[in-house]
Chain A
Amino acid sequence: DAGVTQSPTHLIKTRGQQVTLRCSPKSGHDTVSWYQQALGQGPQFIFQYYEEEERQRGNFPDRFSGHQFPNYSSELNVNALLLGDSALYLCASASRVGNTIYFGEGSWLTVV
């Protein structure tokens, strides 16, 4: 058990809609990152949150936004969904005193 929990595990949305995915980091971890993994591809870094601020961002449009709460949990929001947003969305957590990133099982998003 990785200790990083994500919800929901699967969801289907219609093009143009908005989606919110949630992540609880492993106990003791205070930084959360989000990745998009399209079918047959490696995970792509979306952004990372620490102390409730976005610290680094990958090459994703502004339709992708996030939030980190005081309890370190995080949300990923995607607006104006496109068919190409269909993917597995992974949450990863780490602690500032450690050097290992732990991944959750992901949320499968299908856009129809």
Chain B
Amino acid sequence: AQSVSQHNHHVILSEAASLELGCNYSYGGTVNLFWYVQYPGQHLQLLLKYFSGDPLVKGIKGFEAEFIKSKFSFNLRKPSVQWSDTAEYFCAVSPEPIQFYNQGGKLIFGQGTELSVKP
């Protein structure tokens, strides 16, 4: 079965520390990869996405992620976190091309990583 695994349930960092959140997926075919963030009391927001091309993708708010196909990984990174980055982060995989009108476009999420940044 297709699945997504996020290695850390809760990460605590001080401001200015570097961040790396791990994400591994199990699926042998073509995938589209996403990182979503959920700030307290807010909706899920897209941080970044990878469909094809350069495996290093840059997203909003200084986040980036690297797709390593051989490791089935899509880790999220940020060089220097801020207190405002405190949130829950979800990695998600779409195991088929994003053509919602005929292919569903189902997202498979990891269980999430709660990030707490201390001021």
- When the two chains form their complex, are residues B98 and A103 in contact, meaning their CB atoms are under 8 A apart? no
Q: Mark B6-21, 1 if CB is under 8 A from A, else 0.
A: 1000000000000000
Tell me if A58 and B43 are in contact (CB < 8 A).
Answer: no
Interface residue from A55, A95, A103 paired with B44 (Cβ < 8 Å): A103
Closest B residue to A97 using CB positions? B101
Partner of A101, one of B90, B105, B110: B105
Judge whether B107 and A90 touch: CB under 8 Å: no
B8 to chain A, nearest CB (A): 13
Within 8 Å of chain B (Cβ to Cβ): is A10? Answer: no
Total cross-chain contacts (CB, 8 A): 77
User: Judging by beta carbons under 8 Å apart, are A43 and B105 in contact?
Assistant: no
* CA–CA, A30 and B102, complex, Å: 12
> Are A33 and B51 in contact, with the CB atoms below 8 A?
no
Q: Mark A13-38, 1 if CB is under 8 A from B, else 0.
A: 00000000000000000110101000
In the complex, whether A70 has a CB less than 8 A from a CB of chain B is no
B106 contacts A48, C-beta separation under 8 Å: yes
From the candidates A40, A41, A90, A96, name the one contacting B100 in the complex (CB within 8 A). Answer: A96
**Docked complex: B88-117 residues within 8 A CB-CB of A:** 90, 92, 98-112
Known contacts A40-B111, A100-B49, A105-B42; A50 and B101 CB within 8 A of each other: yes
Interface size classification for chain A: 20 to 34
**Is A55 touching B104 in the complex (CB atoms < 8 A)?**
yes
Contacts of B98 in A (CB 8 A): 94, 99
**Does A66 reach chain B (CB closer than 8 Å)?**
no
- Residues 55-99 (chain A) with a chain B CB within 8 angstroms: 55-56, 58, 90, 92, 94-96, 99
- List chain A residues, Cβ under 8 A from B106: 33, 45, 48, 56, 58
**Docked pose: A90 CA to B95 CA in angstroms:** 20
Establish whether residues A33 and B105, one from each chain, have CB atoms under 8 Å apart when the complex forms.
yes
Q: Identify B108's interface contact among A2, A33, A45, CB under 8 A.
A: A45
